A = this chain, B = another copy of it.
Amino acid sequence: MATKTTRSSKHDSAGGRKAVGVDADRKDRNLRRLRRIEGQVRGLQKMVEEDRYCADIMTQIASVHEALRAVGRELMRNHLKHCATSAIRSGAGDADAMYDELVDMMYKHSR
């Protein structure tokens, strides 16, 4: 999948696929979320180092899962508005590839 390119993504010089459009406020929110998640993961390391009670660590892990899902939600919303819409409006071939990708993302992400 990493090498597939549709009109809804484009490559930069470094070879990574790019989004066709990103809303600035969504991007800011996601960066803030990811910095908070980084802090939570360092907190988890400290809890494991200190032999903290397992149920308390598991509660913290569940909270990281939840925070990651909030990032995914924001990304998906942006993806649908920009990349998916661009593919779906451009016509049948790109649209079909996009439907398959979206269903895969839904079920890969749900894990």
Where the two chains meet, the residues of A that have a C-beta atom closer than 8 Å to any C-beta of B are 1-2, 9, 12, 16-19, 22, 27, 30-31, 34-35, 37-38, 41-42, 44-45, 47-59, 61-62, 64-66, 68-69, 71-73, 75-81, 83-85, 88-89, 95-96, 98-111
Contacts and interface: CB of A to CB of B under 8 A. Distances in A.
A9 B55 CA distance: 10
B54 A78 contact: yes
Contacts of A107: 69, 73
Nearest to A96: B81
A56 B99 contact: no
A18 B49 contact: no
A62 B109 contact: yes
